[in-house]
Structure 1
Amino acid sequence: MPSDLLSITFPAAGEPPSTDPAGHLTPLDQSQREDLSRLYLASYPPQVGAADLDDARREIDETFTGQFGTLRFDASWLAHACGRPAGAILVVERSIWDDHLDGPFVIDLFVHPEARGLGLGRSLGLAAMKSCSSAGDRQLSLRVGDGTSATAHGLYGRLGFVELT
């Protein structure tokens, strides 16, 4: 049975992967909570993400207050397309679900349906990888679940994530 845990090990601290210029990325901060909540709601089907805007706000608030781990603001990014928020990656210091993992953990990567296909997911993933590698982290991990699209699985593979057994 395939593992739902994926990870990438960086070649060496201080040797970050290169990034590409698709989309304008800005560091994530708490002033973006409302934009992030609306983006989160729009990016996932209700059975996978938030059921409504209040639920999305709760999820994002819980992210900022550390319910899913301590947010790494240096490795969490917001992507913009056409002048509005279009995607985000949220990285915490460590997985709260996987004690054996050493290093940062992606708790979410999402892109608005209207902005898919622009390379934003790739840009967000590369930016998080570069931030973590530059900070001296050796590994970045994430989990995929039933709601993870085939496109997302492909993206993680192209970024270099592999199954952990």
Structure 2
Amino acid sequence: MPSDVLQADLQHSDFTPTVSPYAVICRAEPLSSAALAAAYFAAYPPGVAAGTLAEAQTEMKESFAHEFGHLLENASFVALHQGSPIGAIFVVEESIWDEDISGPFIIDLFVDPRHQGQGLGRALISAAMSACKAYGADTLSLRIGDGTSGAALELYKRLGFRELV
């Protein structure tokens, strides 16, 4: 098992999706891919995700086109602040990179840095966890890497994500 994968047990978790007074959390839709690209591009340090805004736009389109796995539209969400997308979580049916990991997999979670600190990461993850549990999934997994901040790692742990053994 890869050491950079975290997984949450959904069936033994009792949680309620977090409501954010700062933003509306709603289902991610392909029409929002261009607007999401700016938040995506801003969220990652240079060289970690898309190198340009145009590349970010392409990656958003590819996410909705299932290029990174079959996107679970009922478990993928966008955070809107005053009607503009400022963050998102994308969940696929299973990882296309890790054969040994079954079940829903978070391929991306990001919040524009200008809007961080408002509980949006927690709201997006808890919405995805709740949706995956309702979908009948036992677990939800994600991969941590160079773009994972210490704050994000702590949030994952508080929400029950643990290293795979």
Asked if TM exceeds 0.5, the reply is yes
Q: Check conservation: 2:25, 2:78, Cα contact below 8 A.
A: yes
**Corresponding residue number in structure 2 for 1:159:** 159
Q: Check conservation: 2:36, 2:86, Cα contact below 8 A.
A: no
Q: Check conservation: 2:11, 2:139, Cα contact below 8 A.
A: no
Q: Check conservation: 2:10, 2:138, Cα contact below 8 A.
A: yes
**Corresponding residue number in structure 1 for 2:43:** 43
**1:61-100 CA deviation, whole Å, 9 max, x = no partner?**
2211222101110000000224321110000000001112
- Structure 1 residue ranges (4+ consecutive) displaced by more than 3 angstroms after TM superposition: none
For structure 2, the 5+ residue unaligned runs are none
Give 1:19 deviation, angstroms. Answer: 1.2
Q: Check conservation: 1:16, 1:129, Cα contact below 8 A.
A: no
**1:17-48 CA deviation, whole Å, 9 max, x = no partner?**
21121131110111101111111111112211
**Within 5 Å, which residues of 2 pair with 1:16-35?**
17-22=15-20, 23-35=23-35
Q: Check conservation: 1:28, 1:78, Cα contact below 8 A.
A: yes
Count of matched residue pairs: 162
Q: Check conservation: 1:94, 1:103, Cα contact below 8 A.
A: yes
**Corresponding residue number in structure 1 for 2:57:** 57
For structure 1, the 5+ residue unaligned runs are none
RMSD: 1.5
TM-score for both structures, normalised by structure 2: 0.93
